[in-house]
Amino acid sequence: DGGITQSPKYLFRKEGQNVTLSCEQNLNHDAMYWYRQDPGQGLRLIYYSQIVNDFQKGDIAEGYSVSREKKESFPLTVTSAQKNPTAFYLCGSREYNQPQHFGDGTRLSIL
């Protein structure tokens, strides 16, 4: 079955440490997205990528970085510059005019 795989499901970060969240899709979608979800805040867009080797900042990109070297992969790095990284992170993908698909999320916590 086609879908989006996010790993790990739970992740812990120490102060001053960078961590990378994985997102892989086998839906052959061009566009991929990263969202951050906090209670009562809905989904806020961090970064998105429309094609390989290209990506754009979303609404809350500070403290995050991404790469898009392959169509099926869009990893997100939460850097030490992100002062409040504890959240639920969702990866998505879509084609033109079609609904967005989502992975099952990664919950990041600070030790």
Partner 1 sequence: AQSVTQLDSQVPVFEEAPVELRCNYSSSVSVYLFWYVQYPNQGLQLLLKYLSGSTLVKGINGFEAEFNKSQTSFHLRKPSVHISDTAEYFCAVSLELNSGGSNYKLTFGKGTLLTVNP
Q: By CB under 8 A, what part of segment 33-72 binds partner 1?
A: 33, 35, 40-43, 45, 48, 50, 58
The 3-state DSSP class for residue 85 equals: coil
Q: Whole-number minimum distance, CB 107 to partner 1, in Å?
A: 7
Q: Whole-number minimum distance, CB 106 to partner 1, in Å?
A: 10
What residues are paired with 44 via a beta bridge? Answer: 36
Q: Whole-number minimum distance, CB 43 to partner 1, in Å?
A: 4
The 3-state DSSP class for residue 11 equals: strand
Element (H, E) at 64: strand 64-66
CB under 8 A, 24+ apart: contacts of 50-59:
58/33, 58/34
Site residues (vs partner 1, CB under 8 A): 4, 6, 31, 33, 35, 40-43, 45, 48, 50, 58, 88, 90, 92, 94, 96-97, 99-105, 107
